[in-house]
Amino acid sequence: MPALAARMADVKVSASVAMSIKAREMAAKGITVYGLTTGEPDFATPAHAVEAAHQAALKGETKYPAQGGTPALKAAVQRKFKRDNGLDYALDEILVTNGGKQAIFNAFMATLDPGDEVVIPAPYWISYADMAKVAGGVPVTVNCPQNNGFKLRPEDLEAAITPKTKWVMLNFPNNPTGAACSRAEMKALAEVLIRHPHVWVMTDDMYEHLVYDGFEFCTIAEVEPGLKNRTLTVNGASKTYAMTGWRIGFCGGPKALIAAMFNMQGQATSGVSTVGQAAAVAALDGPQDFVAERAAEYKIRRDLVVEMLNQAPGIVCHKPEGAFYVFPNVAGCLGKTSPGGKRIETDTDFAAALLDEAHVAVVQGSAYGMSPYVRISYATDLESLRTACTRIQEFCRGLA
């Protein structure tokens, strides 16, 4: 067999995907598995968005789409950035992509030369580092410890930036921790970045509307307008509007960067589903009340999960400001043996034994750049969460 490209050595199957696959395989054998691995809302796509897609299809909007997004969706995105973030982007500063992930991939492919560094706060969404590597970049991770709420400290950011730094990635509210930066905290990061004009800034704001306890979201180009001309603001319909399968991402940024990303997208996927774009227009421009209502439901789930996990021997769970994840520390469970006789030395061992013996699927923190933790998604119903957390408690009590 001919050889694969050397870059494939840097491309790994996502740990969350791998755990989800194993959970599905167990379910196919008749085992009831409580899956807490997937970062996907369990709510339905808003009915008015589905209907808009239906009407678009009936009207014949099923031909090749404009490569950078339909005029209708680009205009809706423009309104969204102004309404939600106080950001004014011209239409040629906006790009519609196949999910938020393609926006990030386009940006890396359009800007990274071999050896360029990408500063990534850890814990981080698994794909950031792998996409940087595929594009020829070098991921530089910066530890964001639990005692700082899993947030990036300005002095740590300053220490990580070098003449080779091309990008700094920001993702708050964060996957996997749910941590979010206040305006003052974001301003402190901006003060560092403003001193390094050779660095692009990318902010993944996918969870902006999933914040709790009165927390107010902010994004860096809004907090520091002086950074707007080198910031890419990435967002999408997936999390806010429960439209993960529609694959609608979008971003705003400097015209020259967006043009380069447009060219890159033309060689990869070209445009985005026309009916999906019609649905996204309806979601962005339609009623928004349900967004806060769903966030209130997530808060109830978060509070339940945090409380129950903190009752499990050996687990300490921080209460995050946003997203729909918690990132509990399982250090107190290491060095022990599971009820089924498995030695638990790492968070990977913990996650594997928990799935095999308690039939609860979580993802090891090492996949996100920090151990010994696990990521738990609470984007599922309360009854399932209560049962899963009870099983986690019982599993931990059985460790010896």
pLDDT per residue rounded down to tens, the chain (400 residues): 899 988 888 777 777 777 778 888 888 888 889 999 988 999 999 999 999 999 999 999 999 999 999 999 999 999 999 999 999 999 999 999 999 999 999 999 999 999 999 999 999 998 999 999 999 999 999 999 999 999 999 999 999 999 999 999 999 999 999 999 999 999 999 999 999 999 999 999 999 999 999 999 999 999 999 999 999 999 999 999 999 999 999 999 999 999 999 999 999 999 999 999 999 999 999 999 999 999 999 999 999 999 999 999 999 999 999 999 999 999 999 999 999 999 999 999 999 999 999 999 999 999 999 999 999 999 999 999 999 999 999 999 999 9
How distant, in Å, are the alpha carbons of 244, 362, 400 from that of 321? Answer: 22, 20, 34
Helix intervals (H) in the chain: 15-28, 47-58, 71-85, 99-111, 126-134, 154-160, 183-193, 220-223, 255-268, 274-285, 289-309, 347-353, 382-397
Amino acid at 291: V
* pTM attached to this predicted model: 0.95
Sheet holding 325-326, edge to edge: 325-326, 374-377, 363-364
Structure tokens at 20: 């989800």
How distant, in Å, are the alpha carbons of 123, 195, 354, 379 from that of 143? Answer: 7, 21, 26, 26
How many CB atoms sit inside 10 A of residue 287's CB? 10
d(CA 24, CA 221): 41
Delineate the domains of the chain, giving CATH numbers in brackets.
Answer: 6-44+290-397 (3.90.1150.10), 47-285 (3.40.640.10)
d(CA 209, CA 201): 21
Cis amide bond preceding 46, omega within 30: no
d(CA 217, CA 210): 9
